[in-house]
Amino acid sequence: MAWRCLRVATGRRGWWDASPWGTPLFAAEQRATLVNVKLKWVKDRALDAAVSRERNLRTAHHLLDLVFSRPGHRVSRSDLLAERSVQRLCGSAYSALEFLGRYHTLFAVSRGGVSLTRAALDLRQREVDCLCVIEHDLVARLRRLLMLTLPRSLPLHTIDLLRWDLGLPSDYQASILRRYPEHFALEQPEGDERVWLRLLSWDDLLAVSELEKSADGGDTTCLPFPVSFTRGFGLRSKCVEWLREWQALPYTSPYADASGLDRRTDVSEKRNVGVFHELLHLTMAKRTERQNVSNMRKLLGMPQKFTKVFERHPGIFYLSRVLGTQTVVLREAYSGRSQLLEKHAHPLVAIREEYSTLLRAALPPRTRGRKRREAFSNQDEGCDVGGDEFELSE
């Protein structure tokens, strides 16, 4: 390939030289066109199951958080139902009461009000203790998220959408942002109704992607992404060849200035994939809803229709269509299983799994089976049949 000839001829390690400020200066020779390759979506039951386990978990956790924050961990039904967030989540007071009554393993509902069961109270206290222990980890994740953006800032609304996935507590503005004024600042730009969170301090030690860390000090010029496909995925030979060539292209750190890249090239697309690869690594469960990042295009320096990279690279990302939304899952974190691999395990994820276990324990056995069938039915698969799980690596 042309880039390999260039590398041999120049004796360089890659396509760019580092400036004194650490900013990559990209050479003019870039792959001229973006190869038009379309790969079909194939259902992955294991990853769908991983997403489905959080059915109703966020709603239950929000209600639990509200009850736990009140004096004595108890709140009257009228006060709880008057919360706008409860009305938004449940739709009506009747639906909220039905939800609370259904999950009796978490909530104790009486005429006097709503309280938490002993199991829920103990688990919530463990979660609070866990959040205190991992506070520096959460701060680092938030700083790295802001470092991925061009203006080093994000609207609070965007962060709120990612809050659950990042593991941030509901009161993170008070419990985290105010405790670290050397890192974060809230501001409202002129002519903008939104409040933004701005990063005040850059840290080169944090500006190392997970893919670069996996190189363990080796050459990071042309890093390939871990790739695997769902069992039954039929990959044509020309797609295999394109993927091998694409994997061998130069890798651009998602924290580096990529303004010199031509957005119409495969090299630029590899940078876009790298940004989302890093973003998903910042999340607790290595997944997030597609809509959570759809409004971050300009802030991440992405081209139009940038989320198409999820569909063009099904060996890196999986789009789960359960729970009435599209959830982007990082395949390498699960490796064909429904549980996170041990190296990606996090104490907060383990606690959330215990919450999910309590939720499932409240459902009758027949209901549990029906809900599992609903999660895996009526999906537009459009899949190729035949072949085993395909793995591609350099």
Statement to judge: residues 271 and 156 lie in one domain: no
Statement to judge: residues 225 and 348 lie in one domain: yes
Tell whether 352 is covered by a domain. yes
Statement to judge: residues 328 and 364 lie in one domain: yes
Tell whether 13 is covered by a domain. no
Tell whether 219 is covered by a domain. yes
pLDDT at 35: 60
DSSP class per residue in 238-249? HHHHHHHHHHTS
Of the three residues 173, 199, 225, the one that is the final residue of a domain is: 199
List the beta bridge partners of residue 26. 16
One digit per residue, the tens of pLDDT, for the chain of length 394 reads 433 433 333 333 333 333 333 444 344 344 445 566 667 788 999 999 999 999 999 999 999 999 999 999 999 999 999 999 998 999 898 999 999 999 999 999 998 899 999 999 999 999 999 999 999 999 999 999 999 999 999 999 999 999 999 999 999 999 999 999 999 999 999 989 999 999 999 999 999 999 999 988 788 899 999 999 888 777 777 888 889 999 999 999 999 998 888 888 899 999 999 999 999 999 999 999 999 998 899 999 998 888 889 989 999 999 999 999 999 999 999 998 999 999 998 999 999 999 999 999 998 876 555 555 555 444 443 333 233 333 443 3
Tell whether 10 is covered by a domain. no
Statement to judge: residues 282 and 297 lie in one domain: yes
Q: For the chain, what percentages of helix, strand and coil (3-state, to nearest 5) are there?
A: 45, 10, 45
The pair of structure tokens assigned to 309 is 């990279």
Statement to judge: residues 235 and 367 lie in one domain: yes
Paired sense of beta strands 227-228 and 391-392, if any: antiparallel
Tell whether 17 is covered by a domain. no
Tell whether 8 is covered by a domain. no
Statement to judge: residues 110 and 152 lie in one domain: no
Tell whether 175 is covered by a domain. yes
pLDDT at 69: 95
Statement to judge: residues 259 and 183 lie in one domain: no
Statement to judge: residues 225 and 280 lie in one domain: yes
Statement to judge: residues 97 and 184 lie in one domain: no
pLDDT at 34: 57
Is 7:250 a contact under the CB 8 Å cutoff? Answer: no
Tally of structural domains, the chain: 3
**DSSP state for residue 225 in the 8-state scheme:** P
Tell whether 343 is covered by a domain. yes
Of the three residues 66, 81, 116, the one that is the final residue of a domain is: 116
- Report which residue type is found at 40: K
Q: Which residues of 251-276 are buried (b: 16+ CB within 10 A; e: fewer)?
A: bbbbbbbbebbebebbbbbbbbbbbb
Statement to judge: residues 364 and 312 lie in one domain: yes
Range of the domain at 150: 140-199
pTM: 0.83
Statement to judge: residues 216 and 354 lie in one domain: yes
pLDDT at 5: 39
CA–CA separation, 259 and 261 (whole Å): 6
Of the three residues 199, 224, 243, the one that is the final residue of a domain is: 199
